[in-house]
Amino acid sequence: DAGVIQSPRHEVTEMGQEVTLRCKPISGHNSLFWYRQTMMRGLELLIYFNNNVPIDDSGMPEDRFSAKMPNASFSTLKIQPSEPRDSAVYFCASSRDGNQPQHFGDGTRLSIL
């Protein structure tokens, strides 16, 4: 079975540019989560969706960040404009139900110069 698929694996861009991270959850999973991992703050939840609807976006750092889930098999996390402090590894995860173990993708390593 295919796991959670994230693209791109690496992204390097200059500050001020728009960045779009993509995620394809595991088929049949109805919950999707976006996380950010940094040395200072560890793994922190940004936003999660249930049945394509955003349930909790309290972890989204500021208005520059937005996330969408137009259908059950695709989600995007967008940063516009990007800043150097957004540099981190961004993970997407999905689960069959909100309280079941989450399965993670391999992440996108984002570097903002």
Partner 1 sequence: DQQVKQNSPSLSVQEGRISILNCDYTNSMFDYFLWYKKYPAEGPTFLISISSIKDKNEDGRFTVFLNKSAKHLSLHIVPSQPGDSAVYFCAASGAGGTSYGKLTFGQGTILTVHP
**In whole angstroms, how close is the CB of 25 to partner 1 at the nearest point?**
13
74 contributes a contact to partner 1 by CB under 8 A: no
45 contributes a contact to partner 1 by CB under 8 A: yes
Of the candidate residues 4, 19, 23, 112, the single one contacting partner 1 (CB under 8 A):
4
| Cβ nearer to partner 1, comparing 74 with 104 | 104
- Residues of span 15-44 touching partner 1 by CB under 8 A: 31, 33, 42-44
Torsion of CA 58, 68, 64, 80, to 10 degrees: 160
| Largest Cα span, the chain | 38
| Cβ nearer to partner 1, comparing 12 with 15 | 12
**In whole angstroms, how close is the CB of 103 to partner 1 at the nearest point?**
7
The binding site for partner 1 (CB under 8 A) comprises 4, 31, 33, 42-45, 48, 50, 55-56, 58, 91, 93, 95, 97-99, 101-107
